[in-house]
Every structure is written in structure tokens, then in C-alpha cells.
Amino acid sequence: MERQAVPGPFDAQEAAVVLERARACVDPELRRAVDSLPGSMRRIALYHFGWEQADGTPGAGNAGKAVRPALVLSAARALGGRHTEAVRAAAAVELIHNFTLLHDDVMDRDTTRRHRPTAWTVFGDADAILAGDALQALALRMLAEDPHPASSAAAVRLAGCVVELCAGQHTDTAMEKLGPGEITLDECLATAEAKTGALIGSACAIGGLYAGAADEDVEALDAFGREAGLAFRLIDDVIGIWGDPGRTGEPAGADLAARKKSLPVVAALTSGTPAADELAELYAAPFREGELERTVLAVERAGGRDWAQVQAADRMSRAMHELSRAVPDPEAAGGLLALTEFVTRRGN
């Protein structure tokens, strides 16, 4: 009988400890990298990471939850490696994540990130683009400087992931301009995998590489991360419409008001039901006060919510299957499981 790692009753406490430990390991490496930048680029990066305010005074240090570096370190440990050896690689993954955030915010004209004004709103488009470029270079330089035998393979993987992230962002931007009837659900899933799954998969795979894992285990870790990342995106999209009972302050329905073509919406639009036509009609016009409830109901009646929840559960089960291939011992997989539970329950 095949042993299966099942998501245990990991409480948020455990994930919090794993994340806290990763932050403590990776932050000094990240700070060193950012401090090596020339003044103009450093200023923007320090602001983006929350280490400085726009005027150069110390910031609150809300640099995000460091899920991806925690995955690198946990995957390395799960495969029997020493997580201390993978700290540079974990920092490199976090730099790549932040480079894409800086650029995506410029392209998407997003004005808020981690409860603060985005870098482009403070420093302008050009500087936000340049700081992103510099962070990508820092990340890949960090791996090129790393004497660990896995560093080249990790750089190949991470750079390949950047290409996938770019293609995903392109499709995402392109889809937002299409009409409700012009998007297929498969395209939408592929885009979510490229935008969210790819880097989470790479983080896990790179951890495996640093532990000297066999090729098939590295691939299984990548697949685990991709599936878990997609589950996270699906759940995040559900929260974007129906809200998160465990979370306060997030307005439910914001994605619908913004006419976002999130996964449950596209599932609803492509369902072939009468509610799909109603939703398409609503989406064809700008959002009007008072029609939120009707829109939410249309997505539900068209099966968007059920589809997303079944898909998320399916992706999680595939993720667990992949993880059990790479790490048959559920105890060794503990850190990865806790993180997966954490991100899919709460968003990252």
C-alpha cells in the first residue's frame, strides 16, 4: 500500500514558527544584497521591502510573509539537506518574487502593496522598473556567487521560472482586455499556474536541489508547489468574491466590482448555464452600486463557487500526492505541509 502524506491538523502556530524562522535566516542575506545596491536603487528597494519609508526613515519592516523562502528551506530540510546551506537560494527566490511585484504593480497600475503605496506611485514608473531589474540581477548574481554544487542548476531553474512568470503576466494582462466570451477556463488555469504556481514550484524544487535530491524528487517537489500554488490561487479568488470568514477588513465582492476575470468568474462565464448569460451581461457594463448581490448570486448559480472549491480540493490532493512521492515520511514533510495549509487557508 502506498503511503500517503495527508494534511494533518497543523495549526497556524506551526506555520508561523516555520515562517518566523525562515525570515530570521533569510533577512540578513536579503539586507546584505539590497545594501550592496547603489544609493538610488537601494532607496527604492528598501522602501519596497518596508525597511524604509519613502523619506529614508526606518520602516515598519513589513516585507511580506516570506512564504517562498520558507518553502526553499523546508524543502531542503524535508529532503535531508541542511537548510543553512540553502539560505542564499531562499533569498534569491524572494528577490525574484519582489522583482515581479515591482514590475507587475507598474503594469497593473496597482496602488497598494502590503498596506503601503506601491513603489511606482512614490518613485515613478522608471525607478520602479529599474529597481525591479536590479533585484532580478541581484538574485541571479547571488546564485552565481554561491559555491554550493546545486547553485547553477538552481539558477537555470529560477531564470526559466522568470520567463514563465513574464509569459503569465502577459496573458493575464491580455485576458483582462478580452470580453467575457473570449476566455477559456483552460487558459485561465494555465495563466494562474504560470503567475502563481511556477515560482512556488521553483522554490520547492530549488530546496530539493540544494539537498542533493534525485531528479524525479526535484520534479515531484516542483509539481507539489505548482499544484499547491494553484489551490492557493483558487481559494484566494473565492475569498475575493465571498470574503474570508477568518479575516477582517477585506471587502467581499471587490474583485467583482473591479470586473476581475478571476477563476470562479471564468468558470461561471463558461458554464453554459442561463446564469452565465446573466453574468456576462453584468460584466459587459461597468459596476453599478447595488448590483453586487446579484452578481455574486449569478456566479454561484452558474456553479463558479462550487467549481473553484472542488478544483482547489483536487489541486490540494494532487499536491499531497506529489509531496508523498518526494517525501514519503509525513514527519519529514511537516514544514512543507504546515506552509501549504497556511497559504491555502489564509492567502499569502
d(CA 264, CA 242): 11
**Scanning residues 254 to 293, which ones bind its own copies (CB under 8 A)?**
none
Residues forming a β-bridge with 116: 113
CB of 94 to its own copies, least distance (A): 16
Closer by beta carbon to its own copies, 123 or else 283 = 123
Cα angle vertex 184, ends 174, 164, to 5°?
50
Residues forming a β-bridge with 52: 58
* H or E stretch at 333: none
CA-to-CA dists, residue 344 to 21, 328, 330, angstroms: 20, 21, 19
Our measurement of the distance from residue 23's CA atom to the centroid of its chain's CA atoms, rounded to an integer in Å, reads 17
Stretch that binds its own copies, among 147-155, 201-209, 230-238, 308-316 (CB under 8 A): 147-155
Q: Residue with C-alpha cell 514544514?
A: 335
Find, among 203, 308, 236, the residue nearest to 266 by Cα: 308
Closer by beta carbon to its own copies, 19 or else 162 = 162
CB of 145 to its own copies, least distance (A): 5
**Scanning residues 87 to 146, which ones bind its own copies (CB under 8 A)?**
99, 103, 106-107, 125-127, 129-134, 136-138, 140-141, 143-145
Residue 152 found at the interface with its own copies (CB under 8 A): yes
Burial class (CB in 10 A: 0-12, 13-18, 19+), 185: middle
**Scanning residues 9 to 48, which ones bind its own copies (CB under 8 A)?**
37-41
Closer by beta carbon to its own copies, 58 or else 124 = 124
CB of 161 to its own copies, least distance (A): 8
CB of 206 to its own copies, least distance (A): 12
* H or E stretch at 10: none
d(CA 235, CA 320): 16
What does the per-residue mask of binding to its own copies show for 157-186, with x meaning CB under 8 A?
--xx-xxx-xx-xxx-xx------------
Phi then psi dihedrals of residue 117, to 5 deg:
-60, 140
Stretch that binds its own copies, among 151-159, 212-220, 237-245, 261-269 (CB under 8 A): 151-159
d(CA 135, CA 100): 9
CB of 117 to its own copies, least distance (A): 19
Q: Are 74 and 12 in contact (CB under 8 A)?
A: no
Closer by beta carbon to its own copies, 64 or else 132 = 132
Stretch that binds its own copies, among 51-59, 148-156, 298-306, 331-339 (CB under 8 A): 148-156
Closer by beta carbon to its own copies, 38 or else 245 = 38
d(CA 338, CA 333): 9
Closer by beta carbon to its own copies, 135 or else 282 = 135
Total chain residues near its own copies (CB under 8 A) = 43
List Cβ neighbours of 28 (8 Å cut-off, separation of 6 or more).
none
The contact set with its own copies (CB under 8 A) reads: 37-41, 99, 103, 106-107, 125-127, 129-134, 136-138, 140-141, 143-145, 151-153, 155-156, 159-160, 162-164, 166-167, 169-171, 173-174
